[in-house]
Chain A
Amino acid sequence: MDIIHQVEQLFLQDKIDIFLGYKALDGHLIPHGFTKEKLNELKDLKISDDRYSLEKIATHLVQKDPDIKIGIIARDCNQRSLNLLYTWNQLNPENIEIVNVNCCPSPIKAHGDCSYLEPKQSGEFKKEHGVDFNADPESFMETYNNNERFSRWMYEFNKCIKCYGCRNICPVCFCTECSLEHASLVEPGTLPAEVPIFHLIRATHMAGRCIDCGLCEDACPSHIPLRLLYREVNEIVSTVFDYRPGEGMEKSPFTIIGDKVTLEPKPMDFQVEGEK
């Protein structure tokens, strides 16, 4: 296979120390780190329809060895999250070699060969009470009024079992201190933030971050249409700041640490109507 030859060349040219791809084990395609020392393993290198967050594994490797050179199989979603991780200084683009493969349908690309080729079908009950998986943000906003949208989202959020899977699987969730479990915000030993605060905290943090890979929705045991939620949040970022996360190497408009704040301070003592 061509891709095996490509990766072999990367190893022989000393461009990478480790290559993150997939291999078959007991009938499952699982991620694997191929190394130069075990070059004969490369014949098992596969492309998987089941996506894992290989970039997240790369960030784990970099935490252990900051100078490690990593090769990685990348669909468009992987590529987007890599771009985002570069701009947030989580990975160094000079140490990453990408081997591109076909990807899944997204607003950016129509062709795909992953789990999203067949869209998820929403059941009848969910269509009546919840949020349709296949809805796009605009038509969803147009079809339902504020109250109805709120009750539909609350129906979805109330199913949440607080597994933190959406955060754990997310390739662009890399904060060392997470506001969903920080001891000063969520007292240890108590329940995590309630519905819908938990979800809205994550939704606001996904603004300018979410690269629409859909792994969170895949990992959600309660089938909450998180992808639609984060798409809607990012629609705002795109309209206001003209920024689409992961599309290029442009920094997020929310990267303000160390920079001068350009927003002008405004007085907060404005008059509320009907009050003195």
Chain B
Amino acid sequence: MDCKFVPSVCSYCGTGCGVLFEVIDGKINSTIPLKTHPVNQGKLCIKGWNLHEYINSYMRLKTPLIKEDGSFQKATWDEAINHTAKKLNHIKQKFGPDSIGVLVSAKITNEENYLAQKFTRAVIGTNNVDHCARL
């Protein structure tokens, strides 16, 4: 039997609490707080404590979905990214960059949020970038 602990960062919000996944025979069995992590210092909220549950959930989406004729179809990442890029390009050319807005999330990291705003400003060419925490 194989039992190891894998440190990670909680994906539920932007706080960035350190967690440890208890992995038994390749399957995540439970989540515990990482005691030495500077952010959460061995403490977690109820979502962090149950982080492993959505990883193994049967309802979890494991592939991107593309909507075709009103229903979602499974797709590969390449297909999904190409499709999105094509559509964004099309919208930008037809209606201008300000017709696109990007909404980023508290659930992704600071660095990913930075990338998203850079993408919005430098690639799409609009200042329409906002955050889901502005409620």
Asked if B83 CB lies within 8 Å of chain A CBs, one says: no
Known: A30-B20, A218-B35. A165 touches B3 (CB 8 A): no
> Interface SS of chain B: helix, strand, loop or mixed?
mixed
CA distance A202 to B71 in the complex (A): 48
CA distance A64 to B23 in the complex (A): 12
Contact A20 B3, beta carbon cutoff 8 Å? yes
Binds B, one of A134-142, A143-151, A156-164, A250-258: A156-164
Q: Give every chain B residue within 8 A of A25 (Cβ-Cβ).
A: 7
Asked if B93 CB lies within 8 Å of chain A CBs, one says: no
CA distance A162 to B5 in the complex (A): 25
CA distance A227 to B97 in the complex (A): 59
Contact A32 B5, beta carbon cutoff 8 Å? yes
**In this complex, what residue of B is CB-closest to A30?**
B5
Q: Give every chain B residue within 8 A of A168 (Cβ-Cβ).
A: 32, 49
Q: Residues of A with Cβ closer than 8 Å to B?
A: 17-18, 20, 25-33, 35, 50-53, 57, 60-61, 64-65, 68, 161-165, 168-169, 218-221
Beyond the given A26-B7, A161-B45, A221-B44, please list 12 additional residue pairs across the A-B interface where CB-CB is below 8 A. A20-B3, A27-B36, A31-B20, A33-B1, A50-B35, A60-B24, A60-B29, A68-B1, A163-B44, A163-B45, A169-B33, A219-B33
Q: Residues of B with Cβ closer than 8 Å to A?
A: 1-5, 7, 18, 20, 22, 24-25, 29-30, 32-37, 40, 42-46, 48-49
